[in-house]
Structure 1
Amino acid sequence: MGSHEASRTGRTGRPVRWGVLATGGMAAAFAEALELLPDAELVAVGSRSEASARRFAERYGVPRAYGTWAQLAADPDVDVVHVTTPHTAHHAAARLCLEAGKHVLCEKPFTLDAAEAADLVRLARGRGLFLMEAMWTYCLPTVRRIAALVRDGAIGDVRCVQADLGFVAPADPTHRLRDPAAGGGALLDVGVYPVSLAHLLLGPPEHVAAWARIGPEGVDETTGVVLGHAGGAVATLTCSIVADTPGMVSITGATGRIDLPDGLFSATAFTLHRRGREPEVFRFPGTPGPGHHHQAAEVMRCLRAGETESPLVPLDGTLAVMATLDTIRERIGLRYPGEAAPGVA
């Protein structure tokens, strides 16, 4: 289905028809998220294994299961595809879908590096197709309210952003998080969240410093990052796959501070501290699951409005984040198979 036809059908009021490419944990979480949206319908799943696709389809009641990515991309009843493959396959899978005329929501990190990201953006823009990184935290009501408060000067000019995200991954060296061939490591899997938050609040950095513990498999186990921004703002960020970090976020400005004690993944409340005032607690009712339905709703809103980019997760912002991730990888010496050096196209 071409972009114009998909946009027209999106405006008819019928459910937006989704396809999901790959059948892992993220695909499962997204299938469950779509169940919260009455105007969404998961109609097809594609995998490199027909057996895997069929098992997924049976589990989630998906009408069609395909044993190749190309079959999913060619399905005329699919309006938009969510790419949920391992990191290293994001570019190839998203490109295949875009070339087939499908709109695409692509998991984070958007691609393995900035060059691949730029290629997808050029293709989508050239064909008038919708494309968005699945940075679902940007779409959370909590984060949207925080960003609005910061823009409105509620805490003055932002001086410091502190954020961390870490957990203990399986020690199995064949696990995707420890596999260089799958784009493993802490930075691309969980570090992308604090880096993206810093970009959301401060824009691209002018200076990047980083250090990492590189594990025996050749991926980063724990990485610390310091970003220096125009005007003197500093972001200090940590990510790990060997430590259960607190997962908290704190944003400090010239006249106040915003704290998310439970971090981005459980962002149902935050506290606004303003000089000379009592702290204000902002609460947001929780919903089942981590909140991926908010990004799905944003994709569908854009399709119905005929928009090819989301103002919540703009492509230029995604490109900037990928450039920062490339620079961090260069600083810590993290290279993946086939790469001459991080950031080199």
Structure 2
Amino acid sequence: MTAKNVRWGILATGGIATAFTGALVDLPDAEVVAVASRSEASARAFAERFGIPRAYGDWNALANDAEVDVVYVATPHAAHRAAAGLCLEAGRNVLCEKAFTLNAREAEELVALARERGSFLMEAMWMYCHPLVRRLKALVDDGAIGEVRTVHADFGLAGPFPPSHRLRDPAQGGGALLDLGVYPVSFAHLLLGEPAEVSARAVLSEEGVDLQTGAVLSWASGALATVHCSITGDTPVAASVTGSAGRIDIPDGFFFPERFVLHRDGCDPEEFTADPADGPRDTLRHEATEVMRALRAGERQSPLVPLDGTLAVMRTLDTIRSQTAVRYPTES
């Protein structure tokens, strides 16, 4: 890192890479210095759009660019293990999109590699970095609603998505669970940790990916969570947390909420709202800011998105897939 700026490399040039880079260029202490794609033309077009000085037509060149402090991996999740692993092997720090990998085994390999190399590694679960989500968690942890009894969260898109779309493509880790369901599952983990038991059902496409998945997660405390995801129906994208002494409702957009309502026994409802200046891009900005804070502090992981938590989420996703018979071509 320079005295002022953290230098970023962007690996991939799709929609989420575009959104994240747009957030980075608004940060005075972030500098996007390189971008890579398997297509040199795509990398050059992306670099021209954002004024990035170096564009590479292969991942290796970016991974070995010593002037890059941290690489943001934004490929489809089927390529996360290869892309993030390449960067970690070369000594780069990595922020990797979610779902972190296809499965827990791949996630464990990346975490072990980062720890071996002494590099920073973080899953891009930007929900955990959102100020209002952090406030919600603090309220729950402080006992504002008593002991947590139930959690509910859903995320569905209407579609329809054709068989050629990446969400329907097994080779790209398609299906609702890894693309959308990771948010409801991660929300439940944020509040309750790793569940003791999982019971899941899914509706599969002809290609063998999940079009819709629902699961009940349970904990030794007696707490339950219901999580749902779909690429066949536009759900409210809502969440709620109910405790022994109250409830918190996020009426829509729970992973980048504009507001939530705290209901406590014997009290009037209390509404908490996000900073009016914050929008979807700002959620990515909060994530980037946390990465840069951790790098400057010499930390190898973020306390907001700890690696053990990422591994636990991947184990839950694995269990759900094992119960719904979803497997990907690269899995033995």
TM-score bracket relative to the smaller structure: over 0.9
1:33 and 1:289 in contact (8 A); partners too: no
Corresponding residue for residue 115 of structure 1: 105
Corresponding residue for residue 311 of structure 2: 319
Q: Aligned Cα RMSD in Å?
A: 1.0
How many correspondences in the alignment? 330
* Structure 1 counterpart of 2:180, from 182, 190, 206: 190
Structure 2 counterpart of 1:337, one-letter code: P
Note the C-alpha offset of 1:170. 4.6
Instruction: Find the aligned partners of 2:67 and 2:221 in 1 and give their Cα distance.
Output: 50
Instruction: Find the aligned partners of 1:295 and 1:77 in 2 and give their Cα distance.
Output: 21
Does 2:318 match 1:336? Answer: no
The DSSP-based 3-state class of the residue aligned with 1:230 is: coil
Structure 2 counterpart of 1:234, one-letter code: L
Corresponding residue for residue 45 of structure 1: 35
Note the C-alpha offset of 1:266. 4.1
2:161 and 2:231 in contact (8 A); partners too: no
Corresponding residue for residue 269 of structure 1: 259
The DSSP-based 3-state class of the residue aligned with 2:152 is: strand
User: 1:23-45: per-residue Cα shift (whole Å, max 9, x none)?
Assistant: 11110010111123111111110
The DSSP-based 3-state class of the residue aligned with 1:171 is: coil
Note the C-alpha offset of 1:171. 2.4
Corresponding residue for residue 12 of structure 2: 22
TM-score by length of 2: 0.97
* Structure 2 counterpart of 1:80, from 58, 64, 70: 70
The DSSP-based 3-state class of the residue aligned with 1:231 is: coil
Structure 2 counterpart of 1:305, one-letter code: A
Structure 2 counterpart of 1:289, one-letter code: P
Note the C-alpha offset of 1:263. 2.8
1:235-274 map, 5 Å: 235-274=225-264
Structure 1 counterpart of 2:54, one-letter code: R
Structure 2, unaligned runs of 5 or more: none
Corresponding residue for residue 211 of structure 1: 201
Does 2:22 match 1:32? Answer: yes
TM-score by length of 1: 0.94
1:52-201 map, 5 Å: 52-201=42-191
Structure 1, unaligned runs of 5 or more: 1-8, 341-345
Structure 1 counterpart of 2:302, one-letter code: S
User: 1:258-305: per-residue Cα shift (whole Å, max 9, x none)?
Assistant: 011013244021110000001110111142434111110000000000
* Structure 1 counterpart of 2:280, from 282, 289, 303: 289
Identity %: 64
Instruction: Find the aligned partners of 1:126 and 1:173 in 2 and give their Cα distance.
Output: 40
